[in-house]
Amino acid sequence: MFSAGLVCSSAMPAHDLHFTRISIEAGLSQSTIFSVTQDRTGSMWFATYDGVNRYDGYEFTVYHHVPGDDESIADDITRTLCTDLAGRVWVGTESGLSLYDDDLDNFHNFTYKGEPCEVNVVCPLTDSMVMVAMSDRVSVFDVGRMEFRDDVLPVSMLPLKVTAAFRGSGKIFLGTAGGEVHVYEPESNACYPVSEFSAGGGREYSLCFWRMTGISMLVQREGGCLCWI
């Protein structure tokens, strides 16, 4: 989670970085940011408590939920963002999953089996599928069918309470609400826990992954603890 505005750097050598602070005064709708992604045009997207923000480097476009408008975003509380393998932008909200239509500049909204769902994580699987982690389950959204599917992932993975995901080296690393890390291998459709990484009791959350060298990564856990995997 980020707060109190954005700090952006230009694409310059590491020894000559320049940072620019972008705050509410510049058009950001809210200062608490849960997720960031970049779309295929280069624009940056930010998920906040007050809608989703698109920034083209010059100005913000803020998308809010409009009651009665099915083409507005599903909810103003936006929790996660994802640009999938085909370049589509997905928004996970407190009430459902939203898919941005860049041709029409609006959204297609989806609920899980007709019921509102709190979407916490969206992660690419294939060109036509994304993994969607809700508050109480994991599922797959199939763009070709325009529906959720529970027959793609292994059964053992479906009840995981996933709070973070990272795709790399042909695998998807999953952080859970129990502080554990699981690894999903799409090629073999297998999911297994990382045995060396246990919660150790108490209430902990795996919040974020950082890619280091090779396949080594750091995992941020609730309270600021950083762990190697």
Q: What is the pLDDT of residues 133-145, one digit of tens each?
A: 999 999 999 999 9
Fold assignment, 1-152 = Methylamine Dehydrogenase; Chain H (2.130.10)
SS3 track for 126-145: ECCEEEEEECCCEEEEECCC
Specify the pTM: 0.83
Name the residue ranges covered by the structural domains of the chain: 1-152, 163-229
- Mean residue pLDDT across the chain: 84
Torsion over CA of 65, 71, 74 and 75, rounded to 10 degrees?
Answer: -10
Residue 224 has pLDDT above 80, yes or no: no
Q: What is the pLDDT of residues 97-135, one digit of tens each?
A: 999 999 999 999 999 999 999 999 999 999 999 999 999
Q: What is the pLDDT of residues 30-75, one digit of tens each?
A: 888 999 999 999 999 999 999 999 999 999 999 999 999 999 999 9
